[in-house]
A = this chain, B = another copy of it.
Amino acid sequence: MLGTQIKVPTKGSEIQEIAGVGPLYRRLHDTLRARISSGHYPVGLLLPTEAALCEEFNLSRYTVREALRQLTVLGLIARRQGSGSQVVSDVTPVVFTQSMRSLSELFQYAFETRFDIRTVRRAAPAKVLADLGGIDRAIPWLLFDGVRRDRLSDRPLAHARVLVHAEFARLEAEFRSTEGPFYGVIERHAGRKVADVAQSITAGPMAPRTAKLLGESADATAVQVLRRYLDRDAAVLLVSINDHPANQFRYEMHLRREG
Contact = CB atoms under 8 A, between A and B. Distances in A.
A113 interface: no
B258 A196 contact: no
A203 B221 contact: yes
B201 A201 contact: yes
Nearest to A23: B259
B232 A2 contact: yes
Interface string A192-218: 001111111111110000000000000
A106 B197 contact: no
29 contacts: A2-B233, A44-B233, A44-B234, A78-B232, A80-B232, A83-B232, A88-B234, A100-B255, A102-B255, A102-B256, A102-B258, A103-B256, A103-B258, A194-B257, A196-B256, A197-B255, A198-B252, A199-B254, A200-B250, A200-B252, A201-B250, A202-B249, A202-B251, A203-B221, A203-B222, A203-B223, A203-B246, A204-B221, A205-B221
Contacts of A256: 102-103, 196-197
Nearest to A198: B254
Contact of A26 (B23, B75, B203, B259): B259
A6 to B, nearest CB: 14
A166 to B, nearest CB: 20
Contacts of A100: 255
A251 B252 contact: no
Nearest to A98: B201
B88 A258 contact: no
Chain copies in the assembled complex: 2
Interface string A78-95: 101001001010000000
Interface of A: 2, 23, 26, 43-44, 70, 75, 78, 80, 83, 86, 88, 100-106, 194-205, 221-223, 227, 230, 232-234, 246-247, 249-259
Contacts of A104: 257-258
B203 A252 contact: no
